[in-house]
Amino acid sequence: MEFMIKTMIDDNVFRSKFIELREQVTEILASISGCHGFDHTERVLNNARLIAKMENAPDIQIIECAALLHDIGRSEEIASKGKHCHAAFGAKIAAAMLEKMRFPEPFAIQVAECVRKHRYRRGVQPETLAEKIVYDADKLDSIGAVGIGRAFYFAGREGAVLHNSAAEAMAAPEYSHGDSAYREYLMKLRHIEGKLLTEAARKLAAQRAGFMHDFFEQLNRETDLK
């Protein structure tokens, strides 16, 4: 059985603290446009609430805070050109913010762990249900219509090609001229459904993944590419 400290705050106290926390996060993420701005965080928060409900997760307060804070280290990662990992760095910022706002320490620790583990890397993987839900909520925002939109948005921002063939896409390095939305789909997005950790997220992902698949089929038909 997994080890977990149950930490619940009085709901009224939590709601008022959460509003304040949300305002701080909005301000911090305001400078980040597009794929990882506050709108992404808001969608991840909505996804996390939905998955938590479907999974009957007990730690809804931790999940909500972690979803809100999951990308809080993003601007440090951008500023350091990838040297700082936004998940590891964000976990520290998240813990500091919650402590400053007098959230209980065990609560802050669990939120920070969700933030640290939302980016699946070797040796760092979600273990508790709360950690799995935050991870899945973030991944869910990379697929479906939102995922398609984000992939083309990224290509436009980086000046990559609008579309290319599967062979061209697979041969292109990251951040290159060939780093198209189709490359993102072939290399990452189409594999996400199979990497989700909760039953609820897999259920929500199925339709989105199929939709995304149909989209690129249609794009290939319209452009005469494969």
Q: Residue 107 or residue 185: which is nearer to its own copies going by CB? A: 185
Name the helix (H) or strand (E) containing 88. Answer: helix 86-100
Task: Return residues touching its own copies (CB under 8 A).
Answer: 33-35, 37, 39-40, 43, 46, 144-146, 148-159, 161-163, 181, 208, 211, 215-216, 218-219, 222-224
Q: Residue 123 or residue 159: which is nearer to its own copies going by CB? A: 159
Neighbours of 99 (CB within 10 A): 15
Tell me how far apart the alpha carbons of residues 179 and 187 are, in angstroms, rounded to a whole number.
Answer: 10
Q: Which residue has the tokens 């350091």?
A: 80
CB of 107 to its own copies, least distance (A): 27
Q: Residue 120 or residue 152: which is nearer to its own copies going by CB? A: 152
CB of 54 to its own copies, least distance (A): 16
Q: Residue 56: what are its φ and ψ, rounded to 5°?
A: 50, 45
Q: Residue 95 or residue 196: which is nearer to its own copies going by CB? A: 196
Handedness of CA 71, 76, 79, 82 (dihedral sign): negative
CB of 199 to its own copies, least distance (A): 19
CB of 219 to its own copies, least distance (A): 4
CA atoms within a 13 Å half-sphere pointing along the CA-CB vector of 180? 18
